[in-house]
Amino acid sequence: MAGEPHLGADAADKDRNADADAVAVAAAPNGAGGGGHKLSLVPLIFLIFFEVAGGPYGAEPAVQSAGPLYALLGFLIFPFIWAIPESLVTAELSTALPGNGGFVLWADRAFGPFSGSLMGTWKYVSGAINGAALAALCADYLGRVVPAVADDGGPRVATIVVFNVVLTVLNYTGLAVVGWTAVGLGLASLSPFVLMSGIALPKIRPRRWGGVAAEKDWKLFFNTLFWNLNYWDSVSTMAGEVERPGKTLPKALVSAVSMTSLGYLLPLMAATGAIDVAPEDWGNGFFADAAGMIAGRWLKYWIEVGAVLSSIGLYSATLSSAAFQLLGMADLGLLPRIFSVRAPVFNTPWVSILATSAITLGMSFFSFNNIVAAANFLYSLGMLLEFAAFIWLRIKRPDLSRPYRVPMRLPGAVALCLVPSAFLVFVMAIAGWKVYAISAAFTAAGVGVYYLMRFCKDRGCLRFSDGGGGGDEGTEAAAFQRQGGRNGDV
């Protein structure tokens, strides 16, 4: 595409990386994110890992719904048609616009503030619901080890509250602390699967991989794949907190995609190949039972403990992403300025962290059957808007510096987005009427929030940023994030 450089000359790449890194530094007050320490490569990889997966826990319904053959094919093929395209789009846009807020900023720059605000509603509600479900899931897993927590009552409520408070405090101390905690949790939750795969090797019979379910539930199958391999763009909401984002973000995304894909595929190959079990038995949590059959009860208990640790990592990463999304929206002037206030010592967005923590805690006690499906629907709407923003910015802003650029011209970029977009439409089409109704209600609420914020801004009821991003209204980052104006305003 004319006027838009490709990945190529080293000098040009270094200049573009330097531009992105300089803007990211300007975007964070005091030049630092989270306690004066920015996210480096290794903790960022594990944060992305937990924003997406946290290990193969939850992959079992893919086997249950279609059998080992389709489950293995699904986790082998789906990363290429979904995870990789989403990660490539995230890498390009996060390095081109390396400010907090991520996908909200992209939609705002492409189509204007209304689209940015609506994107924020869809993605935030989706993330908050998932965070709340994770708190309840952690209690469920812990209930396997401590039976008193499994039943509704005081112990379960206390577990969820303590879980929420502890991880809120952890997030308050900064992303660097959250990131290195994620490294420890990731190693601890993945290690039993590495052991299980090694012990299973002599017991594997490849013929078992060809098994299929007698009655296939394709809706459950595709929803399981989607649930376990989405949210690659969540890291974009804290791009302003990443050390040298022009180089670090693409490397982290490539590493996280590889680790996550193998983290599903290898344990599935080991478990389905080593034991003769009917697909119907592969319900949630069956990996622990499979480990017990392969190696003994000690590994079963280890995987159950690993599931709790994984839930902790998933919730912590989700809370971080959602809180920094609110910070980015406040920097853009889409939410009141109070959401961009940072703690004096740790430099974290403490108001956004507390607000997100309170919302997810309150939702942790709801019934999730239809509301989680609605979260997937809202996430799908956001992803369609995200792909549209990616293409629109390629067309309308060829001059935008892209430290990492997906190595495709416009037709290739369109093709890259078409396959995952078709899958998103398919997932949305198979949703039930209750999901449509809940999603419509949340969307209507998002529209109402946008116009309420405009009313408050016009009347001076609340204090708002000027929409520049980055917290300091007169900074160079503000000019960068608004350069060229909003296409949607014209």
Average pLDDT value for the chain: 86
Residue 108, CB-side half-sphere exposure with 13 Å CA sphere: 27
User: Quick one: tokens of 138?
Assistant: 């952690």
* pLDDT tens digits along 167-199: 999 999 999 999 999 999 999 999 999 999 999
* pLDDT tens digits along 335-385: 999 999 999 989 999 999 999 999 998 888 776 556 677 888 999 999 999
Q: How many percent of the chain have pLDDT more than 90?
A: 68
∠ CA 303-305-307, nearest 5°, is 70
Residue position matching structure tokens 């420890």: 184
CA 244/CA 38 separation, integer angstroms: 9
Backbone angles phi, psi at 322, to 5 degrees: -65, -40
Tell me how far apart the 2 most distant CA atoms of the chain are, in Å. Answer: 72
Give the per-residue pLDDT at 482: 40
For 97-144, the DSSP string reads: S-STTTHHHHHHHHH-HHHHHHHHHHHHHHHHHHHHHHHHHHHHHHHH
CA 140/CA 154 separation, integer angstroms: 14
pLDDT: is 371 or 29 the higher one? 371
User: Quick one: tokens of 422?
Assistant: 């078709």
12-26, 87-101, 121-135, 140-154: which is most confident: 87-101
In the predicted model, is pLDDT for residue 395 greater than 60?
yes
Q: CB under 8 Å, gap of 24 or more: what pairs does 293-300 form?
A: 294/196, 294/199, 294/200, 294/203, 294/270, 295/195, 295/196, 295/199, 299/192, 299/195, 299/196, 299/199
* pLDDT tens digits along 103-145: 999 999 999 999 999 999 999 999 988 888 888 777 877 787 7
pTM of the model: 0.86
